[in-house]
Structure 1
Amino acid sequence: MAPTGFNSILERTQRLAGIVGQEQATCDRHGAYEAQVFRDERRSGCPACAEEAREKREAEEWAAQRRQGAVAKLERRLGSAMIPPRFTGKTFESYRADFPEQKKALASCRRYAEQFAENAQDGRCMLLLGKTGTGKTHLAAAVAQHVIRDHGATAIYTTVSRICQHIKGSFGSDASYTEVQAIELFAQADLLVIDEVGASRDNDFERMSIFEVVNKRYEEMKPTVLVSNLSAAKFEASVGDRTADRLREGGGFVLLFEWESARRGAA
């Protein structure tokens, strides 16, 4: 039995809340309960139903917070992919494929992205080679973003020039990182996209740099996508036999973009 003083405080609290009495009520789901009667003749609902509603609301709020956290995490991963702003919105759906060759390239890149788990397991690489303005970087960026969004993997987009600059940055006596660490930076991501292969005039250093990065990823069974405006024969001559052999191993394949530039058509 509650003390008299406690009952007095409880009664005052109920009056302030507008509660004037109590009566028996029945919930279709939880059975009998004691409802509180208010001055405006409203009755309180089933406390068990109210508790279930509260738990559901809290679960929905928690799920929303988790979704927001997942979106923020995805945005951080997309940001760390270093895809240029011009290509961050490029998707498979936005790639214009009017001709059979374009449709084949689109389907092949989409399949490579959708089957990334198997490609990653085999270390399978892909080469996008051919004429300028044919959408090679568009599709490479779409592959990288699909891999990040749909597979929860990490991806990095870079160019041969950036790789060479980063490696050269380790040569000075005051460098803050070593050449090994420079190469390791490009070996960490689950997928690496290297664009503008063969565009540099410093071909010997470019060839060495590409080999070091590709070989490191080859040893760790990590796939690499290379993009170049060169033909297949010129590409192999540019990167060298050792690099080409590693790119082919594991079922690596080549897509040739031999139609005319879309940029020229737009102009």
Structure 2
Amino acid sequence: MYCDHIMQEDQQLAAAAKENARKERMHRLQDHFNLYSIIPPRLKKAGFDNYKPANESQEKALNDCRRYAENFPKNLNEENDIGLLLHGMYGLGKSHLAVAIAKRVIELGSTYTKPDGTEGITVIFINLPELVTKIKATWRKDSDISESKILDMLKSCDLLIIDELGGAMNKQDEQGQSWLNDMLFQITDARQGRNTIYTSNPDPDELQQHVSKKIYERIFANIHILEFTGKSYRLNGTF
């Protein structure tokens, strides 16, 4: 009985140590996510459970996004890179579901070890218009992070989510559009063979008017397209 008691205590201690290691890994992944991600304040609490689909297209998108997140470690382990494009008019929950994917993948990553022994899954979510501002802020002498460091993280993370693809282009002058296209090309080219998610108001055909041909070809090299239809939640005041 005494030996059984000791064995039970050892098992409890081992389980507690394992859970503490998982939590520590989770905090590290979350810190990495928070450091490099740019998420609008309204999406901070976004998750699968508080997304309320209003029609069949949104229900399908919810199910597909949830399945994508749940299968992410398996696909990463098998080097099966699959991108997502979530497109449709504003206010239908594209960004909401993209953030929900990020959160779930980070959670699953807290217990994941890659074949090379690296622990965890790195995720970054960037709102493209805000990224432009963040990159330009690194040009200041007092910046504590460099443009190259940010770009390196965007190129190498396990899952990158680019929010509002296309929209930022319209806000730039000709010189700004050229610079942004060059930056996007660097990112999309480096991410060939990696998992990337995009949200966009323009549909796939319209996107050709917003990004260069080279970027467009890299985005659509291996991607699953989800179309959102319906009336904006923001107009209803319920999202």
1:154-213 Cα shifts (integer Å, max 9, x gaps) = 111112234334544566789877655442121121000111222321233222222211
* One-letter amino acid of the structure 2 residue matched with residue 229 of structure 1: N
- What is the match of residue 28 of structure 2? 76
- What is the match of residue 191 of structure 2? 217
Contact map agreement 1:211 1:239 (CA 8 A) in 2: no
- What is the match of residue 8 of structure 1? none
Aligned equivalent of 2:75, options 112, 115, 118: 118
After TM superposition, the structure 1 stretch with the greater mean CA deviation from structure 2, 184-193 or 109-118, is 109-118
Q: Distance in 2 between matches of 1:170 and 1:57?
A: 52
Q: Distance in 2 between matches of 1:253 and 1:112?
A: 10
Report the secondary structure of 1:237's partner residue. coil
Question: Structure 1 residue 224: deviation in Å?
Answer: 0.9
Identity %: 25
Query: How has the CA–CA distance of structure 1 residues 79 and 246 changed in structure 2, closer, same or farther, with 3 Å as cutoff?
Result: same
- What is the match of residue 126 of structure 2? 158
User: What is the root-mean-square deviation of aligned Cα atoms in Å?
Assistant: 2.7
- What is the match of residue 256 of structure 1? 227
Query: How has the CA–CA distance of structure 1 residues 135 and 177 changed in structure 2, closer, same or farther, with 3 Å as cutoff?
Result: closer
Q: Distance in 2 between matches of 1:176 and 1:71?
A: 28
Q: Is 2:142 the counterpart of 1:186?
A: no
Report the secondary structure of 1:238's partner residue. coil
User: Higher Cα Rg: structure 1 or 2?
Assistant: 1
Question: Structure 1 residue 107: deviation in Å?
Answer: 1.9
Question: Structure 1 residue 253: deviation in Å?
Answer: 2.2
Q: Distance in 2 between matches of 1:130 and 1:88?
A: 21
Question: Structure 1 residue 128: deviation in Å?
Answer: 1.2
Q: Distance in 2 between matches of 1:248 and 1:231?
A: 12
TM-score calculated relative to the size of structure 1: 0.70
Report which structure shows greater RCO (CA 8 Å, sep ≥6): 2
Q: Distance in 2 between matches of 1:78 and 1:178?
A: 21
Q: Distance in 2 between matches of 1:71 and 1:147?
A: 14
Q: Distance in 2 between matches of 1:79 and 1:173?
A: 25
The structure with more strand, counted as a fraction of residues: 1
* One-letter amino acid of the structure 2 residue matched with residue 144 of structure 1: A
- What is the match of residue 219 of structure 2? 247
Q: Is 2:99 the counterpart of 1:136?
A: no
May I ask how many residue pairs the two structures share in their alignment?
A: 216
Q: Distance in 1 between matches of 2:216 and 2:141?
A: 33
User: Gapped runs of 5+ residues in structure 2?
Assistant: 113-120
1:223-264 Cα shifts (integer Å, max 9, x gaps) = 111112223333232122211111211x31222223110121
Aligned equivalent of 1:207, options 169, 181, 202: 181
TM-score calculated relative to the size of structure 2: 0.77
Q: Distance in 1 between matches of 2:30 and 2:138?
A: 27
* One-letter amino acid of the structure 2 residue matched with residue 208 of structure 1: D
Query: How has the CA–CA distance of structure 1 residues 264 and 184 changed in structure 2, closer, same or farther, with 3 Å as cutoff?
Result: same
Question: Structure 1 residue 88: deviation in Å?
Answer: 4.4
Q: Distance in 2 between matches of 1:255 and 1:126?
A: 7
1:107-163 Cα shifts (integer Å, max 9, x gaps) = 221222233232672332111112111001111011112222224421111122343
1:67-90 Cα shifts (integer Å, max 9, x gaps) = 123123213312322364643443
- What is the match of residue 8 of structure 2? 56
